[in-house]
Structure 1
Amino acid sequence: MGKAVLLVGALLSFVLCMTAVTVTAQRSLECQMVWTGPSASNDLVDCLGNNKRIGAEWRYYLYPGFAALIFIFTLFGLPIVFCCRCCSCCQRCVRPKGITDRGVAQCWLWMWIVIAVLVACAVCVLLVYGVILLTQSADKILHDARHVTVAYFVDTRSNITTLLTDYSKNPPVLPDVDLSAFDVVTDKIGSNIDTIRSDYFKYFRLAEIVVCCVGGVGVALMLCMLIFACCRCTGCCPVAWSALYFIFAIIFALLSVVFTVSIYAMYAGCGEVTLQYKREPGVFQWYLVPWCDDEFDFRGLRTQVSDLETTAAKSACEELLKYCDTTDVYPGTDKNHVFMCGKGLTNAETCKTLDDVVEVIQATYAKTILTNTLCKNQTGMKYLEKCTVAECAERCVDYTHPDIAAKKYANDIIVAAGYAANVSTALSYVHPLLECNFIIDKVANTIEMPKFGSSFTTDKDDVHYCSAVRSASVMLGTGFFVGALMFILGIYIMHRGSWVWGEMHEAEEEGAGENAVSDDVRKHHSSSS
């Protein structure tokens, strides 16, 4: 019997390992088998309920299938065992036949008790650590989604507003652009986060309490087995105690079904995130990205900021044309024209981008006759060949007689160019948002960041919460599955122990009676002699 039990245990362990490995090989939900292409109208429910997709992934349901079989056996098979025990139908299977069998049965029974107790401790660790990891990881995902992802869009909106504000005016002029696209994104993501935290996250807390209580009480019940074994309890007491094991076996078997299904869901979900980073077909690429294109529109904002950049560039060149011309003669037609216009600038309409403004200003310099007069604050040099606008802003002086405020002119030009630079920077903030993959990646980064092959590229701040949730589901599913088997083993131990311990009591009483008879015989012989 012992060899048969060990063989069955080894085969069961092998099957469990293979099914667990099969489940962890799940790459994604494989919705691309159902959908024809990227579209916001793709239905996730249709994907999950598609018979073709379900049939093609049958191997991923082996682990939940075994858990379901254990649950069915526990619910319907174990009551038959209890009925047989009450009717004494199983006496031949569990009752030792002789003195030799009693010793062997006691040895095997203690072996199973030790195994059950060790497994109970391991199950307790898996359940407690797994549920804590699950709750903490889920909480961190929601926390980062609120304080990292949503905060990014809020900060970007604030930065764009700051950059587009013209502080050269008094009072500063706020930008005339529509930033409502940011409000749509933050409101949509924020409302979903709030809904999940208020309506669904409470179930994670409830699961944590239930798992810790069920796991702790279940392990305590298993440890009580040692008391029964040491006290050699017989009769109805072990059988009644095994009824508690039956109740917990049903609970553990049911929860094992739930969490083995969650293993499949977690591996498929994390696989979808990986497919997003690889830009391969999946739920993200074929549903969320098209949905994002329909829901969030930053193209209008980009057009407005681009137009504002053109206006700012033109304004900067207009400011420059107030103080420059293309004739290296002073005084010319305007006494304020103290600079030579760079790139032969004569019309501000030619300045359309920041690059145009930078090229023109860098090529602008003070007229030759005014170079060393205006750029008076020279250090380490006697004469200056050219005095650019940037150098003039630092070294020039403002004269009152004649009225030439060269330093002020240079600063006004730089301020105008600075505003154009700010608008160009704001445009660089908006440009990535035109690609919905960028927005989806921002959301995905709060769940799982892509892993790189080399360890030197790994940052301590990398987010791998999806992997943590996935590991937690494996711990919980395996813990409850093994726990259900543990309680089934506990029922066997209590039922067999009630016979073995009873036989041991009878053997001890018989031995005591035989010893008493032997003592009487010896006393009789001694008195006769």
Structure 2
Amino acid sequence: MRMRPVRATPLSLALALAALLLLCVAVPHTASAHSSLGCETVWEAPSKDNDILLCMTDVNRIKSQWRHYVFPALAVLLFVLVLVIFPLFFLCTLCASTCGTPPTEDEGKGSRCCLWMWIIYTLMWGFGVALFVIVGAKTMADAAVGTMNNTEIPLNFARGVKHTVEDLVQNQTVGDSQFSVPNLDLSAFDNVEELVNESMKQPRELLDKYVKYVPMVSYGVGALPIVLMSLVALVAFCRCCVPCLPLVLSWVYWAFGVVFSLLAIVMVVLAYVFSTLCGEIAAHNERDPGLLQWYLVPFCESTVNFGSIRNRINTAEKDVAGIACENLLKYCDRNNTGVGDLVSNVLSKFVGNPDEVKKLLAKLPPGTLPSGVDPSAIAQGGPLPEAVSELLSNGADVNTLATLASGGGLPPSLPGGLPGGLPGRFPGALPNAIPGIGAVTATTASDPLGPLTSVLGNVKLLYCGRNITNKTDCDGFTKTASVLDDTKVKSFAGVCPENGKACTLLECSKKCKREEAKNISKKVVAGGELLRKAGVVLTRVRPLLECNFVIDLLLNVLSHCNDLASSAALLGAGFFLGGLMFACAIYVMLRGACVWRTRYDKGQPF
């Protein structure tokens, strides 16, 4: 029985070219087309109860993403063909070698020539497999190492945030006040750290153990197809041990073909998983619907109680800021108060009431009154200075006296001077005439305004910063700090560096004329600085108390997602091409077992 020669046909060439073309089209699409899983088309709204399995098995969703399944389907088809078809061809070859003989017209020269074409194909594909495998393995190893290293970033960040929050909300001092948040539960940070550690522990151990072998293994796997395909060419050229050697090699190539095609399935599926994950991450970064926004974020919000921590911190911040501004408003307003206003208030209470004047003068620090006036003698019932006594008893016009205190001259109705020989014009303003009027604004910690508190009335020594009129205007640490920065000591207090000019608390803390005023200003400035720092810390902490931000931070671990997807696609392409190569080598070996039987003659290598 004669066998008809099997020659290369346009159909076989077309099929080979079509397979390669499909491979070239499918691989880039798998590596670059990062689309989400599409669960938003299945689920109705964001919820922790959304069913991921329902999304994965939804028929309409699968149909809409059919392009992503082309390459995996080809890999599965190749695996099935290599696994099943080879035994059938092997049986056919045995039957042909037993029952038939090569054609006699050309003694199989045409068939042998056709096999050399396929041998050249296998050699070319072998180099392609080596390139894909080596480059893909190197890229994947680098991406995996980078991903494992990135896991430390969110862990360190979470630890730092926890310690920052603890320091911020426990036993902080603002001026003379302390605040803390009792029974604050920070276990959420421990839960996040524990979850990340448990998730990454085993992958990190495996990577540390085996990553050093990746270059050696990739070079070995890459070189294997070249060596085995070179053996095909050698057997075809020498035509030795026919048909036993080709039949044995066909089984070897079949085993490698099954392994390579199976690895192709694994890598193609990994490429799809990484590609889909990259798409989900991109959708999350844009806050678009997807698996992360519609499942993971609601799950996080229901599992990790960041809301309670956030509310407690906000409440504590508003309370402390409100108390600070409420105390400040006792001593500041938005009125441009002058010396005349102050003196009007004082004199309106003391004119005609020498006993009140004695009480006030008795509280003044030594050296405050002009020389020759003894506050202690006055306090024990001694007489007031003659000028003051006559002034009070005569009931002089309060507004006129206020004008004089501000440095104004005598009106025409009071020519010649005041009763008791007081000059018609004070030397400068009241702070110059009575040096201590500004210094007594801060003699004690419990009553910053000292002995003047009872006589100032509605005249306040400070000018409120940032136009605040109520404690609710201070809604945070940063706002309160800016209010304190903008608050000024009014000019009439007489303690600012320049006479007759107002100054900020910061300026007063450095250059005020009286040490008491300096010390109080320093305390206020220090409190403002603490509030400012607390505001900066809260600005950094608040985003970390949002699930979206926490997920963003965790997803930084997968910054090499694109590299993982492309490397898996390269490896998938390499193993898929390797499966095709071994399938072709099997065909060459089985066909060669029939046509390589004739004796090799010099000059006739085919």
TM over 0.5: yes
- Cα distance 1:85–1:425, how it changes in 2: closer, same or farther (>3 A)? same
Aligned 8 A contact 1:319 1:412 in 2: no
In the TM superposition, what is the alpha-carbon distance from 1:353 to its structure 2 partner? 3.2
Change (3 A) 1:173 1:220: farther
CA distance in 1 between partners of 2:77 and 2:98 (Å)? 23
Aligned to 1:459: none
The CA RMSD over aligned residues, in Å, is 3.8
* Matched residue count: 477
Give SS of 1:405's match. Answer: helix
| Native 8 Å contact 1:316 1:417 kept in 2 | no
Q: 1:256 to 1:369 in 2, by over 3 A?
A: closer
- Among 512, 521, 533, which residue is 1:396 paired with? 512
In our comparison, the structure showing a higher alpha carbon Rg is 2
Other-structure match for 1:413: 524
Displacement, 1:415? 1.2
Compared with structure 1, are the counterparts of its residues 384 and 169 closer, same or farther at alpha carbon in structure 2 (3 Å cutoff)? closer
Q: Which residue of 2 aligns with 1:353?
A: 476
Q: 1:38 — aligned with what?
A: 46
> Is the CA contact 1:160–1:429 (under 8 Å) kept in the aligned structure 2?
no
Percent of counterpart pairs with the same letter? 29
Which amino acid is 1:250 matched to?
V
- Report the secondary structure of 1:446's partner residue: helix
Q: Distance in 1 between matches of 2:146 and 2:268?
A: 23
Query: How far 1:246 sits from its partner (Å)?
Result: 1.1
Aligned partners of 2:295, 2:114: CA distance in 1, in Å?
Answer: 58
Task: Give 1:148's aligned residue.
Answer: 153
Alpha-carbon spacing, 1:316–1:214, altered in 2? closer, same or farther (3 Å)? same
Partner of 1:387: 503
Residue 115 of structure 1 aligns with which residue? 121
Out of 584, 590, 598, the residue aligned to residue 489 of structure 1 is 584
User: What residue in structure 1 maps to residue 535 of structure 2?
Assistant: 424
Contact 1:161/1:175 (<8 A) preserved: no
Distance of 1:387 and 1:305 partners within structure 2:
34
- Of the three residues 483, 486, 493, the one matched with 1:362 is 486
For residues 141 and 75 of structure 1, the distance between their equivalents in structure 2, rounded to whole angstroms, comes to: 36
TM-score (norm 1): 0.77
Deviation at 1:287, TM superposition (A): 0.5
Q: Does residue 192 of structure 2 align to residue 185 of structure 1?
A: yes
Structure 1 residues 479 and 361: alpha-carbon distance in aligned structure 2, compared to 1, 3 A threshold: closer
User: Which whole-Å CA distance do the structure 2 matches of 1:310 and 1:278 have between them?
Assistant: 32
1:223 aligns with 2:230: yes
CA contact (8 A) 2:464 2:486 kept: no
Q: CA deviation at 1:159?
A: 3.0
Query: In 2 relative to 1, CA 309–496 (structure 1 residues): closer, same or farther, beyond 3 Å?
Result: same
Report the structure, 1 or 2, having the larger helix content. Answer: 1
What is the CA deviation profile of residues 24-58 of structure 1, one whole-angstrom value per residue up to 9, with x for unaligned ones?
Answer: 64622222233222110112223223344334444
1:414 and 1:221 mapped to 2: Cα distance? 81
Q: Does 1:289 align with 2:297?
A: yes
2:94 pairs, out of 73, 80, 86, with: 86
2:265 corresponds to which residue? 257
CA distance in 2, matches of 1:349, 1:56: 55
1:331 maps to amino acid = I
Give yes or no for contact 2:147–2:557 (8 Å, CA) kept in 1: yes
CA contact (8 A) 1:249 1:487 kept: yes
1:87-133 deviation per Cα after TM superposition (whole angstroms, max 9, x unaligned): 325997x946444962x555444443333222112202212321332
Shift in Å, 1:419: 2.1
Match of residue 452 from structure 1: none
The 5 A counterparts of 1:507-518 are: 507=601
User: Residue 350 and residue 30 in structure 1: after superposition, are their counterparts in 2 closer, same or farther (change >3 A)?
Assistant: closer
Deviations 1:229-248 (A, max 9, x none): 44332411232122211110
| One-letter amino acid of the counterpart of residue 437, structure 2 | P
Alpha-carbon distance in 2 for matches of 1:493, 1:388: 94
- 1:85 CA displacement: 2.2
Counterpart AA for 1:156 = V
State how 1:164-243 maps to structure 2 within 5 Å.
164=169, 166=172, 176=182, 177-198=184-205, 214-235=221-242, 236-243=244-251
Aligned residues of 2:254 and 2:586 also touching (Cα < 8 A): yes
The aligned runs of 1:467-506 (5 Å cut-off) are 467-503=562-598, 505=600
